[in-house]
Amino acid sequence: MSLNHVSRLCRNVEDSSNFYTKVLGFVLIERPPAFDFAGAWLFNYGVGIHLVQSNNEDKLSPPDSAHLDPTDNHISFQCENMEAIEKRLKELDVKYIKRT
């Protein structure tokens, strides 16, 4: 019927939350307190994103990878104005890979 959420492992929940809220316009929402691991829940555009803190480097993609592997862990976003998004990413010093 619809996509409920996407769960992403991340190195730093706070840094990742800042990216999704400041760059992509997601909003932090309440996360059930029963979870015994660090994380954050975000929502916008009809999609939920669940960020999960990972301390296992083997489960995370290399941070300086210059190549996007479409079979690996990633999320793709569309935008109306690529120049504006690139400007915002540069202002926030966010590394990104541009593909069309």
Whether residue 98 lies inside any domain: the answer is no
Contact 44, 24 (CB under 8 A): yes
The sign of the torsion formed by the CA atoms of 32, 3, 49, 84 equals negative
Nearest to 80 by CA among 47, 43, 45: 45
Is residue 89's pLDDT more than 70? yes
Is residue 57's pLDDT more than 90? no
Higher pLDDT, 47 or 69: 47
Total structural domains within the chain? 1
For the domain that residue 66 is a member of, what is the CATH number? 3.10.180.10
Range of the domain at 35: 2-92
Q: How many residues does the chain have?
A: 100
Whether residue 97 lies inside any domain: the answer is no
pTM of the model: 0.71
